[in-house]
Amino acid sequence: MRNHTIPEYRLQIRTDKCRWCAEGLIRLEIQSYDHANGWPTDGFKKKQWLYIECPGCEYQWSLWKLGVAKPKERTVPEWRDAR
Ligand SMILES: [Zn+2]
Protein backbone atom coordinates (compact mmCIF):
# COMPACT_ATOMS: atom_id res chain seq x y z
CA MET A 1 0.00 0.00 0.00
CA ARG A 2 1.43 3.37 -0.94
CA ASN A 3 1.30 6.58 1.01
CA HIS A 4 -0.79 9.59 0.12
CA THR A 5 0.61 12.04 -2.37
CA ILE A 6 0.77 15.74 -1.61
CA PRO A 7 -2.29 16.46 -3.83
CA GLU A 8 -4.21 13.84 -1.86
CA TYR A 9 -3.27 15.50 1.41
CA ARG A 10 -4.46 18.81 -0.06
CA LEU A 11 -7.94 17.31 -0.43
CA GLN A 12 -8.03 16.75 3.34
CA ILE A 13 -7.50 20.40 4.24
CA ARG A 14 -10.32 21.58 6.49
CA THR A 15 -9.36 25.22 6.97
CA ASP A 16 -8.94 27.06 3.70
CA LYS A 17 -8.23 30.57 4.96
CA CYS A 18 -5.41 32.07 6.98
CA ARG A 19 -6.60 32.64 10.52
CA TRP A 20 -4.46 35.76 10.82
CA CYS A 21 -5.12 37.66 7.60
CA ALA A 22 -7.96 35.72 5.89
CA GLU A 23 -5.92 35.03 2.77
CA GLY A 24 -7.12 31.97 0.84
CA LEU A 25 -4.69 29.07 1.19
CA ILE A 26 -6.26 26.12 -0.56
CA ARG A 27 -4.88 26.74 -4.05
CA LEU A 28 -1.34 27.60 -3.00
CA GLU A 29 1.58 25.27 -3.47
CA ILE A 30 2.19 22.85 -0.63
CA GLN A 31 5.85 22.90 0.35
CA SER A 32 7.68 20.20 2.23
CA TYR A 33 10.91 19.16 3.89
CA ASP A 34 12.18 16.06 5.69
CA HIS A 35 10.78 15.86 9.23
CA ALA A 36 10.60 12.90 11.61
CA ASN A 37 7.12 13.89 12.82
CA GLY A 38 5.78 14.67 9.38
CA TRP A 39 3.50 12.80 7.01
CA PRO A 40 4.51 9.65 5.12
CA THR A 41 4.32 10.93 1.57
CA ASP A 42 4.37 9.05 -1.71
CA GLY A 43 7.45 9.96 -3.71
CA PHE A 44 9.63 10.78 -0.69
CA LYS A 45 11.90 8.40 1.23
CA LYS A 46 11.50 10.26 4.51
CA LYS A 47 8.43 11.67 6.15
CA GLN A 48 7.63 15.16 5.00
CA TRP A 49 6.58 18.19 6.94
CA LEU A 50 3.91 19.74 4.75
CA TYR A 51 3.02 23.40 4.92
CA ILE A 52 1.61 26.31 3.00
CA GLU A 53 3.14 29.74 3.39
CA CYS A 54 0.53 32.48 3.55
CA PRO A 55 1.23 35.15 0.90
CA GLY A 56 -0.50 37.76 3.06
CA CYS A 57 1.38 37.48 6.36
CA GLU A 58 4.06 34.85 5.55
CA TYR A 59 2.88 32.57 8.35
CA GLN A 60 3.76 28.97 7.59
CA TRP A 61 0.63 26.90 8.05
CA SER A 62 1.41 23.25 8.64
CA LEU A 63 -1.22 20.96 7.20
CA TRP A 64 -1.63 19.68 10.73
CA LYS A 65 -3.02 23.08 11.72
CA LEU A 66 -5.24 23.06 8.64
CA GLY A 67 -6.90 19.85 9.79
CA VAL A 68 -4.94 17.15 7.98
CA ALA A 69 -4.25 14.28 10.38
CA LYS A 70 -1.20 12.11 10.01
CA PRO A 71 -2.28 8.61 8.99
CA LYS A 72 -1.43 5.56 11.04
CA GLU A 73 0.64 7.41 13.56
CA ARG A 74 0.53 7.20 17.29
CA THR A 75 -0.92 10.32 18.77
CA VAL A 76 1.87 12.66 19.75
CA PRO A 77 1.59 15.57 22.16
CA GLU A 78 0.42 18.61 20.29
CA TRP A 79 3.28 20.74 21.56
CA ARG A 80 5.66 18.71 19.42
CA ASP A 81 4.02 20.10 16.34
CA ALA A 82 3.65 23.65 17.55
CA ARG A 83 5.43 26.07 15.26
ZN1 LIG B 1 -1.97 35.17 6.49
Ligand 1 centroid – CA 24 distance (Å): 8
21 versus 2: the higher-pLDDT residue is 21
User: DSSP readout, 26-76?
Assistant: TTSPPEEEEEEEEE-BTT-SS-EEEEEE-TTT--EEETTTTT-PPTT----
Query: What amino acid is encoded at 83 in this protein?
Result: R
The average pLDDT across 9-32 equals: 95
| Under 8 Å between Cβ of 70 and 64 | yes
Q: What is the pTM of this model?
A: 0.82
Distance 46 CA to ligand 1 centre (A): 28
- Asked if residue 50 lies in contact with residue 32, where contact means CB atoms within 8 angstroms, the answer is yes
Cα 37 to averaged position of ligand 1 atoms, centre (Å) = 24
State the distance from the centre of ligand 1 to the C-alpha of 50, rounded, in angstroms.
Answer: 17
22 Cα to the center of ligand 1, angstroms: 6
Q: How far apart are CA 82 and CA 75, in angstroms?
A: 14
Give the pLDDT band of residue 1 (cuts 50, 70, 90): confident
